[in-house]
Amino acid sequence: MAAADLKGVITASITPFAPDFSVDIARLAAHSAKLLEAGGSFVSTFGTTGEGASLSTREKLAALKALKAAGADMSRQIPGVMTPTLDDAAEMLVGIAETGCRAALVLPPYYYGTSEAGIAGWYDALIERTRSATDIDILLYNIPQLSRIRFTADLVKSILAQHGSRIVGIKDSTGDVDNGVMLARTFPELSVFTGDDRVLPTLLANGGAGMIGGMPNVFTRDLVALYNNPQNADLLAKQTTRILAVDKGGSLVALKAALAHYSGDDNLARVLPPLKSLEGQGLADLLASFAQSGFSAAA
């Protein structure tokens, strides 16, 4: 792989918020440190699970600077760039580099949708605009269910033809095992990650690098164990049960609610509008499913 260190279990971190909806730096720094201490390879802030599309570039860059000032290991951060605006994407990419982050996970421009040539052209423009300021590594973010853009093999080849030295990986959040395997086999020079625990064993068997996902926010140790022993059918079954429960509970709001419960810190459950925190029966059902899978606060 072009960047051999980019592998393992990378947590797409939740973002804790204060009551005024500002980023709670102290809680984010503490959570990031715990994820790394539990065996995670890197932390990816301000992606989908981190509500990155609901935060401004100004807010995210200020948070990254504050994380650095708080002593966070920025070399183990891979923040998300999630904006359809070229100018904001360029500012975010440069800021990520300036704070010493390992790489950036860059979502394609959503909303309008366009041709593959148009998407390749956007990455051309982003890299050209930031060329004099940074040569930071870039991972492509494939989540067509939200971005409306799918990274086909042809699109990836087009981007690599122009910027092969800058593109080091892909996060495939389609949840489609065949798609992940296709990307890993077609692009062995890239670190190909899945966003879905259930795909991880098969992806690893076909040259994949690991996972970048939200589930390690709660289950870091189990997912690191699965990464290290992908043939462990019991662990895979547990994670399958858990991810189905999280999806039913609203994905990132379910993860935040679970973290709040297990840590005894209700602040961690707070989400930005228009999202609503998971409470009541929904939370009870989620925790019951986790308990049935053998998980507890001490796990």
- 214-223 pLDDT, tens digit per residue, is 999 999 999 9
**Residue 191 forms beta bridges with which residues?**
169
Query: 189 pLDDT exceeds 60?
Result: yes
Mean pLDDT, range 254-264, rounded to an integer: 97
Distance CA 242, CA 94 (A): 37
pLDDT above 80 for 182:
yes
Q: Name the nearest CA neighbour of 213 among 35, 63, 37.
A: 35
% of the chain surpassing 90 pLDDT: 95
Cβ-contact 172, 163 below 8 angstroms: no
Q: Cβ(135)–Cβ(96) under 8 Å?
A: no
Task: Provide the pLDDT for residue 296.
Answer: 77
pLDDT band at residue 227 using 50, 70 and 90 as cut-offs: very high
Q: What is the largest CA-CA distance in the chain?
A: 53
* DSSP assignment string, 189-231: TSEEEES-GGGHHHHHHTT--EEEESTHHHHHHHHHHHHH-TT
Average pLDDT over residues 126-137: 97
Confidence band of 265 (pLDDT split at 50, 70, 90): very high
- Residue list for the binding site: 49, 212
- Confidence (pTM): 0.96
pLDDT value at residue 113: 81
Read off the pLDDT of each residue in 77-89 and give the average, rounded to a whole number. 97
For residues 3-24, give the mean pLDDT. 96
Binding-site positions for pyruvate read: 49, 212
DSSP string, 104-119: EEEPPP-SS---HHHH
Q: Which residues are catalytic?
A: 141, 171
Identify the pLDDT of residue 299: 46
Architecture of the 8-229 domain:
Alpha-Beta Barrel (3.20)
3-class secondary structure, 286: helix
Q: What is the Cα–Cα distance from 206 to 201, expressed in whole angstroms?
A: 9
Nearest to 27 by CA among 46, 8, 14, 44: 14
